[in-house]
Structures are given as C-alpha cells and as structure tokens.
C-alpha cells in the first residue's frame, strides 16, 4: 500500500480506503472486526462512514471494532441526511451539526473525528453558518479536518471562498460519484480541485459491482449479486458497457491483473485523487481492492483504457 496526502493537508491516507455503508446491516459485527484487522494487514488506514448508514449502526459497529486501535485509522464520517423525524434533525444548520457530531462521537466511541464531511449541499442554510459551526468544532478539537460530498464545482469553490474570507478552515476534500463509467466530474470538478489542491475521494469505484467483471451480457446476474435487484447496477447493463467491460477485462488479464485492480488503478491515475473509497462486505474484498493500489498505470496504459471507454 502507498499513502497520499489528504488534499492540501499534511495527513497521509492509504490510496485505497474502506467504504462501510453496509456495516451494521449486511455486514455483522464479527465480520466488521475481521475486516478492520484485514485492512491493517493490507496497509489500509482510511475508513469512511456516515451517520445515516444503516441508521447509525455502521458507526456503532466501527466504534466497537476500533477499540484498542483507534490510533491506527483515519476515520471519516458525514452529516446532512435525516437522523430523526424532527425538522432540525437534518441539513447543514449549526443546530443540526452540533447535535450530529455528538451523536457520531458517541457511536464511534471516540473523542475526535479525523475528517467530518457534509454529505451534500444544503440550499436552505447559508454556507457561512455551516462553515462557522465546522470551524468551531475544529477549534474545540472534536474534528480535525472537514470535507464535502456530492458538491458541484461551483458549490465547493463558493464554500471555500467564504471560509477563506472569514479565516475559517476550508474543505480539504470532496467525495464524488466517480468511476470508469461515471466521468461527469472531469469537466469542472476535477479542474477546480487541481487548481485549489482539494483532495478527491471517489466512491462506488466498481459501479456497484458491475466493474468487477462478474456480469456477462449472455448470462443472468449471479445469484445473490446486487445486479439481481439493484436499479443502480442494472442501469449499467447496456450492450455498449458490456462491450467495454469485455475489452477492459482482456486489457487487465493481458497484464496479469484483475478487472477490480484495473478499476482502482485507473482512478488512482487520475488527478487529485487522495484515496478511493471502496465498499467491502467480506475480508477477501479488502485484499482484492487494496491490490489495485499496487498497479501504477503508465501514461500509455491510461490512454489505452480511455480509448476503450470512449
């Protein structure tokens, strides 16, 4: 495993991180514990969760599994989405942020969050209110760095300009939906992040499993796979994407690698990527994902892959 700086900070994170949105749900506590142990063995130190994942159970399971090894991990979580039925139990208001961070700290069984991320833009709350509250959390030592998720380029740049004008801490990272078949951020968000040195943390690098290579145009989805019922995965099941997938799989195999490794390696070859957030439900996923960081694509290989992708 190699490590990269988290945006414009001095913090080092593993090139591949753990996505934990199914911890506390499909992934039970003993497995979460095993996954975190495997992550350490693979050199992964970055894990990403959110207060809304499995209605807080993701954070709870991580908190239990972190006992005795909290200092081994960089822990990122998020706020914004509803955590209850009340009108103030959501969003980017100071009120909600101060409530949400305390709840996350309790579930994670820690006294600090390494990277606290706003899960999406809140059009109903002035961004200055959000940023001031987040800066206060940093000053109080409860949060060490802040990031955003699912912001557009203009939203991210506007927020950080406001932070700079008030002397508050800016967002160090952005977490977007980005993989080989989902490249919309390349038009504006990536150039903005390059210019301002903001770290990018792509999520869904395998397109919900479609980019693992286990789906075939001439066969039904494997039993028990997400492709059987997930509209997200099924949305990629087009003749054009199956053709791309066949060529990408051959490209990887010719070089002694898997499709999973190629999907991660391609992302890590893109500008400003700090870490790829890769979801896991089994221990073996940890090692297959982590191995993608060992394949550093040459410029010629990136160009060849991009030609396949069209």
CA 153 to centroid of chain Cα atoms: 17
Residue of 53, 116, 145, 178 marked catalytic: 53
Percent helix, strand, coil in the chain, to 5, is 45, 15, 40
Q: Which residues of 128-153 are buried (b: 16+ CB within 10 A; e: fewer)?
A: eebbbbbbbbeeeebbbbbbbbbbbb
The span from the CA of 10 to the CA of 221, in Å, is 43
Are 286 and 259 in contact, with CB atoms under 8 Å apart?
Answer: no
CA 222 to centroid of chain Cα atoms: 26
Tell me if residue 166 falls in helix, strand or coil.
helix
Q: How do strand 12-14 and strand 3-5 relate by DSSP bridges?
A: antiparallel
Residue 53 bears catalytic tag = yes
Which token pair is 182?
Answer: 């989902």
Name, in order, each residue with C-beta under 8 angstroms of 239's C-beta and a sequence gap of 6 or more: 217
Q: What is the DSSP string of 253-297?
A: HHTT--HHHHHHHHHHTSTTB--EEEE-SSHHHHHHHHGGGG---
Catalytic residues: 53
């Amino acid at each position: 495993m190699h490590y990269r700086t988290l945006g414009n900070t001095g913090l080092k994170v593993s090139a591949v991180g753990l996505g934990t949105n199914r911890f506390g749900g499909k992934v039970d506590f003993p497995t979460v514990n095993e996954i975190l142990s495997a992550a350490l063995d693979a050199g992964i130190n970055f894990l990403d969760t959110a207060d809304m994942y499995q209605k807080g159970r993701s954070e709870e399971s991580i908190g239990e599994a972190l006992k005795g090894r909290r200092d081994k991990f960089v822990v990122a979580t998020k706020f914004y989405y509803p955590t209850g039925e009340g009108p103030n139990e959501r969003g980017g208001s100071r009120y909600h942020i101060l409530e949400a961070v305390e709840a996350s700290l309790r579930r994670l069984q820690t006294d600090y969050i390494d990277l606290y991320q706003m899960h999406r833009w809140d059009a109903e709350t002035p961004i200055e209110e959000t940023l001031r509250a987040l800066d206060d959390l940093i000053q109080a030592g409860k949060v060490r760095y802040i990031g955003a998720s699912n912001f557009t380029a203009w939203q991210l740049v506007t927020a950080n300009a406001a932070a700079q004008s008030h002397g508050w801490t800016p967002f160090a990272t952005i977490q977007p939906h980005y993989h080989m078949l989902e490249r919309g951020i390349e038009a504006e968000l990536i150039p903005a992040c390059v210019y301002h040195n903001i770290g990018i943390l792509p999520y869904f690098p395998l397109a919900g499993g479609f980019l693992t290579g286990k789906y075939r145009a001439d066969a039904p989805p494997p039993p028990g796979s997400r492709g059987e019922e997930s509209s997200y995965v099924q949305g990629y099941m087009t003749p054009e994407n199956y053709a791309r997938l066949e060529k990408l799989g051959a490209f990887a195999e010719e070089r002694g690698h898997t499709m999973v490794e190629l999907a991660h390696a391609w992302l890590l070859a893109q500008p400003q990527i700090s870490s790829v957030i890769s979801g896991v439900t089994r221990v073996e996923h940890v090692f297959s994902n982590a191995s993608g960081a060992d394949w550093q694509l040459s410029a010629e290989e990136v160009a060849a892959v991009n030609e396949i992708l069209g």
